[in-house]
Amino acid sequence: MAVTLARARRAGCVLLKALLRFGFMVANNLVAIPSYILYLAVLQPLRVLDSQCFWYIEGILFKWLLAMVASWGWWAGYTVVEWGDDVKAVSEDEAVVLVNHQATGDVCTLMMCLQDKGTVVRQMMWLMDHIFKYTNFGIVSLIHGDFFIRQGRAHRDQQLMLLKEHLEKYYRSRNRKWIVLFPEGGFLKNRRETSQTFAKKNNLPFLKHVTLPRLGATQVILKTLVAQQENGIRAGGDAVIKESKSKGLQWVIDATIAYPKDEPIDIQTWILGYRQPTVTHVHYRIFPIKDVPAEPEALTRWLYQRFIEKEDLLTHFYETGAFPPLQGQTKAISREMTLSNLWLVGIQSLAFLSGGMWYCIFHYFYHSLF
The model's pLDDT over 185-204, given as tens digits with 9 standing for 90+, comes to 889 999 999 999 999 999 99
In sequence order, the 6+-apart residues with CB closer than 8 A to the CB of 244 are: 172, 228, 229, 232, 233, 234
The residue-averaged pLDDT of 28-51 equals 95
Report the pLDDT value the prediction gives residue 9, as an integer from 0 to 100.
79
Of 141, 8, 148, 130, the closest CA to residue 66 belongs to 141
Residue 356 pLDDT level (bands cut at 50, 70, 90): very high
Sign (positive or negative) of CA dihedral 246, 247, 250, 256: negative
Residue 230 pLDDT level (bands cut at 50, 70, 90): low
Neighbours of 234 (CB within 10 A): 23
Whether the predicted pLDDT of 220 surpasses 90: yes
Rg (CA), the chain: 22
Percent of the chain with pLDDT over 90: 73
Question: How far is Cα of residue 359 from the mean position of the Cα atoms in its chain?
Answer: 31
For the entire predicted model, the pTM comes to 0.89
The residue-averaged pLDDT of 151-157 equals 77
Report the pLDDT value the prediction gives residue 227, as an integer from 0 to 100.
61
Whether the predicted pLDDT of 348 surpasses 90: yes
pLDDT averaged over the chain?
Answer: 89
The residue with greater pLDDT, 140 or 232, is 140
Question: How far is Cα of residue 69 from the mean position of the Cα atoms in its chain?
Answer: 11
Q: What is the pLDDT of residues 284-332, one digit of tens each?
A: 999 999 999 989 999 999 999 999 999 999 999 999 999 998 887 788 8
